[in-house]
Amino acid sequence: MTFKELNMAEPILKALGKAGYETPTPIQQEAIPFILNNNDLLACAQTGTGKTAAFSLPLIQLMAENQRTNVKGKRPISALILTPTRELAIQIGECIKTYSQFTTLRHCIIFGGVKQKPQTDALQNGVDLLIATPGRLLDLMNQGYVDLNQIKHFVLDEADRMLDMGFIHDIKKILPRLPKRRQTLFFSATMPPAIAKLADTILYNPKKVEVTPVSSTVDKIEQFLYYVEKGDKRNALVKLLDDKNKESVLVFSRTKHGADKIARHLNKFGIKSEAIHGNKSQNARQNALENFRKRSTRVLIATDIAARGIDIDHLSHVINFDLPEVPETYVHRIGRTGRAGCDGVALSFCDREEVAYLRGIEKLIKKRIKELQV
């Protein structure tokens, strides 16, 4: 299967060629024909499956075709992509910039934590495609900078994360401002009942696509467990990281404060590490990520929320310093290693108080995690 066989138009094929994409991923093969056919879509897919291109490419195509017949002048926003984090919004914006470079479409990214002026200037110049996080979008809507009543395509990205992060109320305020007649594309890595219910209320006769169910991704990852008492975890981590083969390690901490403490402790032992979490400025988070990508920091410590939307290739290890309370979170965390066919390793600490979490995780992944000694 090729992108040409998926009926992608010439400007998009040219952009894909330049970006080095040769074959559509499974989600792209399944979703693109439905989207080009103007169907609503319910897609169960995690980051790393190529889901961003799966919705962006056909949307760009539909919009570019429509634009040829449109009169010139200030254009109304015709597509809205809602995503939970700034990092994801930036990544989606970068993808759209690449894929639409040979069209005349304009896009704009809006997210919180930065000054709004550059965003409102861009909006006032006219935008076809808006990528936004819910809070800032509502804010700018309430100030009269954004008008969504001409939206033809609406994408809800990472719906389950939106719910976890408490954005559902914002989304419920945004939804009534969208036209009823529109195409809606709904993406979520998991489909717990609350998400299925939300999908049911906003989708019309959706086509359903599902790729790499959570358990099969996990099967490729080697998982080990260390029973460690709470007070011994930091020293146990130093011991594990003495092994230089662990070259690019993402450590998960349940709390922001905990993440900072771990980073300080590791640095004291000469292990270069940085923490990212919601209390850090956007700049500090971007810098920490950049250092980790460049490999000048070996260890990145993150909370679940901060880690969302981080797309880092070739992570060698994920370490769960604390076990998550929600078993699905374990699967999302360890899914960050072992991407794109690489084998990954996930190590978890479990203290006395976390044994119940461990049982929940093992039930979900349907296997016992092998125990090792530090």
Interface ranges with ligand AMP (CB under 6 A): 21, 23-25, 28, 47-53, 311
CB-nearer residue toward ligand AMP: 205 or 216: 216
Minimum distance from CB of 231 to ligand AMP (Å)?
38
User: Helices in the chain by DSSP H: which ranges?
Assistant: 10-19, 26-36, 51-68, 86-99, 117-125, 134-142, 159-164, 168-174, 193-202, 214-219, 233-241, 256-268, 282-293, 304-307, 327-334, 355-365
Min dist CB 80 to ligand AMP, Å, is 18
Identify the residue whose tokens are 């994920």: 318
Burial class (CB in 10 A: 0-12, 13-18, 19+), 291: middle
Identify which of residues 20 and 193 has a Cβ nearer to ligand AMP in the complex. 20
CB of 50 or CB of 258, closer to ligand AMP: 50
Q: CB-wise, 102 or 227, nearer to ligand AMP?
A: 102
Residue 189 vs 203, nearer CB to ligand AMP: 189
Task: Indicate the residue among 24 and 258 with the shorter CB distance to ligand AMP.
Answer: 24
Nearest to ligand AMP of 6, 80 (CB atom): 6
Q: In angstroms, what is the minimal distance from the CB of 335 to ligand AMP?
A: 11
Give the nearest distance from C-beta 356 to ligand AMP in angstroms. 33
Is the CB of 3 or the CB of 252 nearer to ligand AMP?
Answer: 3
String of DSSP letters for 82-104: E-S-HHHHHHHHHHHHHHTTTS-
Helix (H, G, I), strand (E, B) or coil at 371: strand
For the bound state, the minimum distance from the C-beta of residue 16 to ligand AMP, rounded and expressed in Å, comes to 8
Residue 27 and residue 1 in contact, taking contact as beta carbons nearer than 8 Å: no
DSSP, collapsed to helix, strand or coil, labels residue 2 as coil
How near is the Cβ of 259 to ligand AMP at its closest, in Å? Answer: 24
Under DSSP, is residue 130 helix (H, G, I), strand (E, B) or coil? strand
Which lies closer to ligand AMP via its Cβ, residue 50 or residue 134?
Answer: 50
Residue closer to ligand AMP (CB basis): 36 or 323: 36
Q: How far is the CB of 207 from ligand AMP (least distance, A)?
A: 19
> What is d(CA 230, CA 219) in angstroms, rounded to the nearest whole number?
28
Amino acid found at 188: S
Distances in Å between the Cα of 329 and the Cα atoms of 49, 119, 176, 323, 365 are 18, 33, 31, 9, 12
Q: In terms of DSSP bridges, do strands 344-350 and 207-210 run parallel, antiparallel, or are they unpaired?
A: unpaired
218 neighbors 339 (Cβ within 8 angstroms): no
Residue 53 Cβ, how far from ligand AMP at the closest point, in Å?
4
List Cα–Cα distances, 355 to 34, 219, 229, 322, 351, in angstroms: 44, 22, 11, 11, 7
CA 125 vs CA 108, 136, 219: distances in Å: 10, 18, 48
Tell me the two tokens of residue 140.
Answer: 């700018």
Least distance in angstroms from the C-beta of 146 to ligand AMP: 25
Contact assessment for residue 240 and residue 321, using Cβ atoms and an 8 Å cutoff: no
Checking DSSP bridges between strand 273-276 and strand 299-302, what pairing results, if any?
A: parallel
- Shortest Cβ 275–ligand AMP spacing (Å): 23
